[in-house]
Amino acid sequence: MTLLGFSLVLKCQKTLTLQWRFNLFRTGSDKRGHMEQFALTDIKRPLQETIATHVIPQLLGQQPMSSRQNMMAAEYSQRLGQACVSLVPSAAQDCARQLMAQGLDLETLYVQTIPDAARLFHDWWEVEQIDFVAVTRGTFQLEELIYALSVDFIMTNRGEHQAGRGFSALLVNTPGSHHSLGLLIVSQFFKRHGWQVISSNQFSAADTITAVRSEWIDLMGLSISDGRQIEPMRQLIASLRRLSSNPHLQIMVGGPLLRQTPDLAQQLGADFSPAHADEAQTLAASRVQQVQARHGMVGLNVQS
């Protein structure tokens, strides 16, 4: 952990301790259980806000979001989510263009607004605000929105985004997974930075092995959504390393399961597990460049 990260953690711990003491004296309750429950409930909010708006952005080298920025981000996701589950076919694209006209940049739309809107579908479904048909429709509309904006996203400032030029990536969902939105967003970032990308939601384990045996692949990306897939994926990754035509294949894992399993890469025997789509491409390009330099492999990869 960096010095910055350590100091930020200490700051959070201090916030937690001070808030607990404040609640301890404020409650005035002689019932210990009630007092502790009240204090613990009350301290969660400021601690979570500190982590979300200051700790994580600074650890990622980003500027902390203000309360107003957080409110705007939530509003944008809410508006886009509502447009997607509506019955108007063009509502999602119309909403996205309105948001961009109001100052939302395309990259933020991809890495924050669209994923947050997708999470809202789950939240709304859990409280029976929408049904499963609406969830499916909303997810489809988000994917259609990404395809509609794909050319603009990939080609915007492309001359400045060539870290992956000449590198190849195979990005697939684990067999049986139905979470395709995240993989689609990741593939857009890789294409934007010059990677040659093969992406599929339908690859079986055998298809994936065949691909890395028959083609030179610099990066294998696997999206995992279910804890029950861990053991099959561990076995698949071991096979990929053994059978790949690239003896130094880099393997990246991500997907919905990463939120609950921060050490997912270690559990599966993969090389790394980025938290965000934009971070995935940056880490992947860096790792491939390092491996090629270390093993004298520069020039062996495919050329775009």
> Model confidence over 101-136: pLDDT tens digits?
999 999 999 999 999 999 999 999 999 999 999 999
Residue from 196, 198, 165, 200 nearest 180 by CA: 200
167-209 confidence digits (pLDDT tens)? 999 999 887 776 789 899 999 999 999 999 998 888 899 999 9
pLDDT at 68: 66
Question: What mean pLDDT is predicted for residues 16-34?
Answer: 36
Confidence band, pLDDT 50/70/90 cuts, at residue 280? very high
CA distance 255 to 224: 5
With a CB cutoff of 8 Å and minimum separation 6, the contacts of 33 are none
The region of weakest confidence among 6-15, 143-152, 283-292 is: 6-15
DSSP 65: P
Token pair belonging to 222 = 């696997």
DSSP state of 276: S
- Residue-level pLDDT at 171: 96
Q: Using CB atoms within 10 Å of the CB of residue 125, give its burial: 0 to 12 exposed, 13 to 18 middle, 19+ buried.
A: middle
Q: How far is CA 35 from the centre of its chain?
A: 38
What digits encode the pLDDT tens for the residues 257-270?
Answer: 888 888 999 999 99
pLDDT single digits (tens) 201-244:
888 999 999 999 999 999 999 998 888 889 999 999 999 999 99
Does the pLDDT value for residue 51 go beyond 60?
no
Q: How confident is the model at residue 10 (pLDDT cuts 50, 70, 90)?
A: very low
Would you state the pLDDT for residue 214? 94
Average pLDDT in the chain: 78
Q: Summarize the confidence of residues 9-33 as an average pLDDT.
A: 37
- The single-letter DSSP state of residue 257 is G
Distance CA 289, CA 170 (A): 17
* Confidence label for 62 from pLDDT (cuts 50, 70 and 90): very low
Predicted confidence at residue 31, as pLDDT, reads 39
pLDDT of residue 44: 39
User: Is the whole-model pTM more than 0.75?
Assistant: no
Q: How confident is the model at residue 165 (pLDDT cuts 50, 70, 90)?
A: confident
